[in-house]
Amino acid sequence: MDKHHFLDEVETRLTRLSSASRQGYPPSPLERHRLEGFMEAGVFLGLVTPQELIDLKERTCRAIFGMSVAERKKQKQGSWPLEDIDYSQYEKPRWSR
């Protein structure tokens, strides 16, 4: 496997996971960890540098979401629906509610 073939495969996998996420189907931890391991293997084998993978991830994120990875992380932080629920009523014992 050469560098270009490896980068094409990483881009395909990143695109598949990101597209599914954009459609509302977050990737499973297993899929995410496999991709991360694949990328680490490429660095370990000397096929790519970490910076090349960061750049590829950035380009893929911009192509699919229209924003940088940092912007996407910031946007996702405020999107957890359970953050708006007030759980204070459950702080009292059940028998006293």
8 is a domain residue: yes
37 is a domain residue: yes
Taking only the tens place, the pLDDT of each residue in 15-37 is 999 998 888 888 888 999 999 99
Of residues 91 and 64, the one with the higher pLDDT is 64
94 is a domain residue: no
Q: Is the dihedral of CA 43, 15, 74, 24 positive or negative?
A: negative
Boundaries of domain holding 37: 3-84
Taking only the tens place, the pLDDT of each residue in 63-80 is 999 998 888 888 776 544
pTM above 0.85, yes or no: no
- Domain total in the chain: 1
DSSP 8-state assignment for residue 79: T
| Residues 76 and 35: beta-carbon distance below 8 Å | no
